[in-house]
Amino acid sequence: MKSEGFATIATNIKKYRLLNGLTQDEMAKRLGIDSQYYSQLEQGRRNFTLERIIDVCSVLDLTIDRIISSDILDDTSKIIKDKEELISLISNKLNSLSHDQLLILNKFTDALLK
């Protein structure tokens, strides 16, 4: 079962692809992937990886916050009001990541803060 978050990401990517006047085939070529695979990503039959989301943002000249629904961000901010609590939660999660995952996260934060 696919999560709502991934479905939202796929929907947003499709919306911005169309706004940029790109077909799925053109988008797949720009990403360097097979068009059928890209179609499955956009339809939510497969999940976009963080690296692929970063690539999509680069192709569409978007920041990641445009791809991730504001509803997701709003829900998080309602649950965690205290900045220090949020930093602590994030820090705990970072400690469990592998070196490769941390490198990917670094790319993500660089793109997000662009």
Give the amino acid at 65: D
Burial (CB count <10 Å: 0-12, 13-18, 19+), residue 9? buried
State pTM to two decimals: 0.59
Task: Tell me which CATH code domain 4-112 carries.
Answer: 1.10.260.40
Q: How far is it, in rounded angstroms, from Cα 78 to Cα 101?
A: 27
What residues contact 76, with CB distance under 8 A and at least 6 apart?
A: none
Q: What are the pLDDT tens digits along the chain (114 aa)? A: 456 677 888 988 998 899 889 999 999 999 999 999 999 999 989 988 889 999 999 999 888 888 886 454 444 444 456 677 778 878 888 888 899 888 988 888 887 777
Q: How far is it, in rounded angstroms, from Cα 88 to Cα 96?
A: 13
Tracing tokens 């796929």 back to the chain, one arrives at: 10
Tracing tokens 């670094």 back to the chain, one arrives at: 106
Sequence ranges of the domains in the chain = 4-112
